[in-house]
Structure formats: C-alpha cells, structure tokens
Chains A and B, each alone.
Chain A
C-alpha cells in the first residue's frame, strides 16, 4: 500500500517569486512513480511533472522542478517565477508502475494562491 501526505493545506506566493510545496510518501514498492498534478477550480487535473523513482536526477519542466529525496521519501515541488495562472490546487501522487500504472494514490492537496 502507498500513502502520500501533503502537510501544507494552503500556500501563497507573490507573482514572480519562488514557492516550494512539500510532499512525503510511503511505499513498499521498489519501483514507483511520483507526480505533481495541478487542478484549477472546476477544471480538469493536469500533469505538472513526473519522477521515476529509479532516476536520481530531479525532474524539471520549465519553471517547475522537484527535489526528490528517496531515502527520506520526500518529493517537493518548486515553482519559480510564479505566475497568476499557477494558482490552483496541487496534488502530489504516486503509483507503483507496471500494471499498477495510473492507479494513483493522492495526497490531500495544497491550495496555492498567487498574489499580484
């Protein structure tokens, strides 16, 4: 079984500044994937970034990057140069890969507010 914990119910950031969202997880799987999803109000969930657990290098997608600490089971998301359009609920999620790919376990979510 997998568990994902997001300890920050809400975060806020000034436009153009940097913010980090925290996530910890627990799993008994040796091979797994970690994800950050963005869910704007009343809109569909979209993938922000994905990390394969076997890769040591942290994933990066433009202004979004992760700090993956496998031993600590930590997976934080850094958003640089924050924009108003980044305001949304952010979910950290994991799955076991293989035949379990897509069977995501989600955290509780972090609401991100971006101030102009």
Chain B
C-alpha cells in the first residue's frame, strides 16, 4: 500500500515569494490534515479536511495561507507571501477510520 506522498521535499524561497505544497493521501482516506513543524518543536495542526470540505482551519493564518482539496483526494497548501517565520516542515497526514499516517514532509526555507 502506497503511503502519503508529498512534494516537493525541499523548497527554498525568498520572503514575500509564494510557494505551494502538494499532498496525495493514502487511497480511500477521507480525512486529511496539514501540520506545520518548526525546527525544534512538535507539529502544529493547520487545517483538517473531511473529503473536500474544511472541518477545522482555526489555526491556519488565513492572511497568507490557503489550502484546498477540490476533489476530496489530493490537497494543496499555499503560502503567499511567505515570511521568514514560515520556515518549517509541512507535514500532510491522512486517516480512514483509524491510525493517522504521515508523509515525509516538505521542508521550506524562507530567506
């Protein structure tokens, strides 16, 4: 069974530029999450999708972050414009009805 796929694995941009991360969850998993992991800290939930609907985006900085899951499968997380403090690993996770499975993450460096 394929795991949660994320791309790109690494991205370096300058502040005020934009960036997008893509996630393909495990087939059949209805629930998808994006977490932000700043170096030296535990991951923090940004947004939760159930199929193609947003369940919880209370922790998403909506002035610069956006996310979508149009067909209830793949998801995209966008940051525009990026700030230095957005440097982090962005983790995607999915679940059917049980265990949460994480991708390897997309590491963003903002210069």
State the A residues within 8 Å of B (CB). Answer: 4, 42-47, 50, 91, 93, 99, 101-109
B11-19, B39-47, B64-72, B76-84 - interface stretch: B39-47
Residues of B within 8 A of A107 (CB): 42
> Interface extent on B, as a size class?
20 to 34
> Given known contacts A42-B104, A44-B103, is B41 in contact with A104 (CB within 8 Å)?
no
Interface flag for B28 (CB, 8 Å): no
Residues of B within 8 A of A46 (CB): 102
Q: Interface of chain B, helix or strand or loop or mixed?
A: strand
Q: How many A-B residue pairs have CB under 8 A?
A: 49
**B43 near A106 (CB under 8 angstroms)?**
yes
Could you name 24 residue pairs across A and B whose Cβ atoms are closer than 8 Å? Answer: A4-B42, A44-B4, A44-B91, A44-B102, A45-B93, A46-B102, A47-B99, A47-B100, A50-B99, A91-B43, A102-B33, A102-B48, A102-B95, A102-B100, A103-B45, A103-B48, A103-B56, A104-B45, A104-B100, A106-B42, A106-B43, A107-B42, A109-B40, A109-B42
Residues of B within 8 A of A47 (CB): 99-100
Within 8 A of A (CB), among B19-62: 31, 33, 35, 40-45, 48, 55-56
Q: Report the minimal beta-carbon distance from A72 to chain B, rounded to whole angstroms.
A: 21
Name the CB-closest residue of A to B104.
A44
Residues of B within 8 A of A108 (CB): 40-42
Q: Report the minimal beta-carbon distance from A15 to chain B, rounded to whole angstroms.
A: 26
Name the CB-closest residue of B to A100.
B56
Q: How far is the CA of A89 from the CA of B29 in the complex (A)?
A: 26
Q: How far is the CA of A107 from the CA of B91 in the complex (A)?
A: 16
Residues of B within 8 A of A43 (CB): 104
Q: Report the minimal beta-carbon distance from B87 to chain A, rounded to whole angstroms.
A: 16
